[in-house]
Amino acid sequence: MSGAVALDHLTKRYRLDPGKKVALDEIPTDDKAGWSKDDARPATAKLWKRLLERQEVLAATDTHALLIVLQAMDAGGKDSTIRHLSRGLSVGEAEVAAFKAPTDVERAHDFLWRVHRRVPPLGKIGIFNRSHYEDVLVVRVKELVPKAVWKARYEQINAFEALLASANVHIVKIFLHISKAYQTKRLKRRLDLPEKHWKLTADDLRERKRWDEYQRAYADALERCSTEAAPWYVVPAEHRWFRDLLVARIVVERLEALGLEYPPPTIDPKDVVLE
Amino acid sequence: MSGAVALDHLTKRYRLDPGKKVALDEIPTDDKAGWSKDDARPATAKLWKRLLERQEVLAATDTHALLIVLQAMDAGGKDSTIRHLSRGLSVGEAEVAAFKAPTDVERAHDFLWRVHRRVPPLGKIGIFNRSHYEDVLVVRVKELVPKAVWKARYEQINAFEALLASANVHIVKIFLHISKAYQTKRLKRRLDLPEKHWKLTADDLRERKRWDEYQRAYADALERCSTEAAPWYVVPAEHRWFRDLLVARIVVERLEALGLEYPPPTIDPKDVVLE
């Protein structure tokens, strides 16, 4: 553990300060902040336990919500991140919304309509598996709308997220950062393991060719939309055990900062007689 | 373990065969089928692991869904059952719907409207924390609708559940069975622990006075609505470790019976070249 960045200082290393220039290629995708797998695993398990406790208080008080926005390139580990973070969540108070290509009904509305409907209500933890950020990522790279339209979206997103924050929906945004070489390795794994074949689509392979364009689109989105109210974190995601540690810590820190306590009783326990 | 009912035979002991008379007071609430806590805990952990695997295949195939309906008297352990079963679920592919007193909008529809909207889509596991059964339980006991209306609901529920089953939404219904003495103990605990005070409401105490009426309403609902397609299980719920074992086994058994496998690839892995 000597040389490892202490938990208390870990997350700010990966938080993007508002207004700061983002150069993704200068942020190592395999960083582990001096941690070893053997130290990280038990530390993560402890954080999951604290998360379960915080989730229960959050549900009991019903006055705040947490929204975790998760974005990554293909094979970046979004599903696996959610699966692992689930060890610290009860399904009863968590809601995951996965956003795919919009349906006809969704396309008949502004781009924030479908995500607004899936914002977690007070008392819950919501996770967006992909999100409204796709509307400045894939939509930009594939030129699905004119440039003026997607360019206006950064401000629209910031205004939307500020609205949520004003209504006690706290937001943390996590970008799982991987290299192209790592993506190659993960896609090769899907080719090698028969039970992973179904995960491989022609679309993944097409999108891969536009790696650099996606990285530029990500850098712009992270830079323009990391705000005090809803910061972006760039999480090095090639060591899954480090990714799990960091994600758990980001979430627990945000929840603990709320300082929530169990609500007072609605009836005086002294008055109760149980026959 | 000598004398314990083997896992393979465990669930059928608690499944209500269609058409069978239900006498709840003849079913022990503290049964443990010869199991000890020390044997049950690791067996349950293994079942949770199988559940995680089955959930992943369910999500990958996207052709079937599972709906778990959970009902119990107050302090019967619904929330805690969901929290524990969460150890075998990823939040990404599970949806919990908690049904409370209906809203104005919900009341402006038939009683199945609000539950129909929350049925899990193919690929997911849904849990109903309370359900449409409240409409033949609290609604009956409190006489919120005329007798002719709630009496017609048993058949309406059976038709609704048969519709879901025909669309590959498989249903298991679990009644967490406790005694009134056990409820007293759990409510006392809420009185004794400050962090549990908020869970105690005046409503709990009022409803408690109608214990016998609720038990009769439950017996009728279980008897009239345990079908081949959507069986009811009466789960002795006073030993939480036994309850967790049994619930996990019921769910895993249902999922494994589907015999699902990972879907074939949409592209031939042999044709893929990764640069």
Per-residue pLDDT in tens (0 to 9) along chain B, 275 residues:
568 999 999 999 999 999 889 999 989 999 999 999 999 999 999 999 999 999 999 999 999 999 999 999 999 999 999 999 999 999 999 999 999 999 999 999 999 999 999 999 999 999 999 999 999 999 999 999 999 999 999 999 999 999 999 999 999 999 999 999 999 999 988 888 888 888 888 888 888 999 999 999 999 999 999 999 999 999 999 999 999 999 999 999 999 999 999 998 888 877 777 87
Cβ contact, residue pair A263, B198, below 8 Å: yes
Q: Does A195 touch chain B (CB under 8 A)?
A: yes
Q: Does B260 touch chain A (CB under 8 A)?
A: no
Cβ contact, residue pair B188, A79, below 8 Å: no
Is A207 exposed, middle or buried, given 0-12, 13-18 or 19+ CB atoms closer than 10 A?
Answer: middle
Q: Distance (Å, rounded) from C-alpha A150 to C-alpha A133?
A: 10
| Closest CB from A98, A129, A269 relative to B200 | A269
Q: Distance (Å, rounded) from C-alpha B30 to C-alpha B240?
A: 10
Q: Distance (Å, rounded) from C-alpha A150 to C-alpha A197?
A: 34
* B118 vs A contacts (CB less than 8 Å): none
| Closest CB from A93, A94, A198 relative to B265 | A198
Residue pair B223/B21 in contact by the 8 Å Cβ criterion: yes
DSSP letters of B230-249? S-EEEEE-SSHHHHHHHHHH
Closest Cα of chain B to A259: distance in Å? 15
CATH number of B39-257: 3.40.50.300
Closest Cα of chain A to B240: distance in Å? 17
Residue from A232, A255, A235 nearest A51 by CA: A255
Tokens found for residue B85 = 């079963």
Per-residue model confidence (pLDDT) at position A1: 55
At which residue do the structure tokens 């939480």 appear? Answer: B240
If DSSP codes are grouped into helix, strand and coil, which group holds residue B86? helix
Instruction: Count Cα atoms within 13 angstroms, Cβ side, for A255.
Output: 31
Cβ contact, residue pair A265, B195, below 8 Å: no
What ipTM was estimated for this complex?
0.86
* A266 vs B contacts (CB less than 8 Å): 198, 200-202
| Chain B residue with the nearest C-alpha to that of A193 | B269
Closest Cα of chain B to A269: distance in Å? 6
* B93 vs A contacts (CB less than 8 Å): 96
Per-residue model confidence (pLDDT) at position A271: 79
Q: Distance (Å, rounded) from C-alpha A248 to C-alpha B72?
A: 33
DSSP letters of A23-69? -GGGS-TT--TT--HHHHHHHHHHHHHHHHHHHHHHHHH-S-EEEEE
Per-residue model confidence (pLDDT) at position A230: 98
Per-residue model confidence (pLDDT) at position B274: 80
Cβ contact, residue pair B90, A83, below 8 Å: yes
Mean pLDDT, consecutive 10-residue stretches, chain A (275 aa), reads 87 94 92 98 98 97 97 96 98 97 96 98 98 98 97 97 97 98 92 84 86 97 97 98 98 98 84 78
Closest Cα of chain B to A266: distance in Å? 6
Cβ contact, residue pair A272, B200, below 8 Å: yes
Q: Does A96 touch chain B (CB under 8 A)?
A: yes
If DSSP codes are grouped into helix, strand and coil, which group holds residue A95? strand
Cβ contact, residue pair A94, B91, below 8 Å: yes
Q: At what angle do helices A78-85 and A240-257 cross, to 10 degrees?
A: 60
Cβ contact, residue pair A92, B197, below 8 Å: no
Is B196 exposed, middle or buried, given 0-12, 13-18 or 19+ CB atoms closer than 10 A?
Answer: middle
Q: Distance (Å, rounded) from C-alpha B197 to C-alpha A32?
A: 43
Residue from B258, B247, B256, B253 nearest B44 by CA: B247
* B83 vs A contacts (CB less than 8 Å): 52, 90, 92
Task: State the distance between the two ends of chain A, measured CA to CA, in whole angstroms.
Answer: 56
Closest Cα of chain B to A107: distance in Å? 21
Per-residue model confidence (pLDDT) at position B191: 86
Size of interface A-B (CB pairs under 8 A): 116
Q: Does A94 touch chain B (CB under 8 A)?
A: yes
Mutate to test the interface with A, among B81, B82, B91 (most CBs of A within 10 A): B91
Residue from A55, A67, A201 nearest A132 by CA: A67
If DSSP codes are grouped into helix, strand and coil, which group holds residue A139? helix
Task: State the distance between the two ends of chain B, measured CA to CA, in whole angstroms.
Answer: 56
If DSSP codes are grouped into helix, strand and coil, which group holds residue A73? coil
Cβ contact, residue pair B91, A129, below 8 Å: no
Per-residue model confidence (pLDDT) at position A206: 86
Q: Does A205 touch chain B (CB under 8 A)?
A: yes
If DSSP codes are grouped into helix, strand and coil, which group holds residue A71? strand
pTM, 2 dp: 0.92
If DSSP codes are grouped into helix, strand and coil, which group holds residue A130? coil
Cβ contact, residue pair B265, A127, below 8 Å: no
Q: Does A181 touch chain B (CB under 8 A)?
A: no
Closest Cα of chain B to A47: distance in Å? 15
Overall residue count recorded for chain B in this entry: 275
Q: Distance (Å, rounded) from C-alpha B69 to C-alpha B128?
A: 5
Amino acid at B218: Y
* A95 vs B contacts (CB less than 8 Å): 91, 95
Q: Does A104 touch chain B (CB under 8 A)?
A: no
Per-residue model confidence (pLDDT) at position A160: 97
Q: Does B194 touch chain A (CB under 8 A)?
A: yes
pLDDT tens digits, B19-71: 889 999 989 999 999 999 999 999 999 999 999 999 999 999 999 999 999 99
Q: Distance (Å, rounded) from C-alpha A32 to C-alpha B9?
A: 48
Q: Does B95 touch chain A (CB under 8 A)?
A: yes
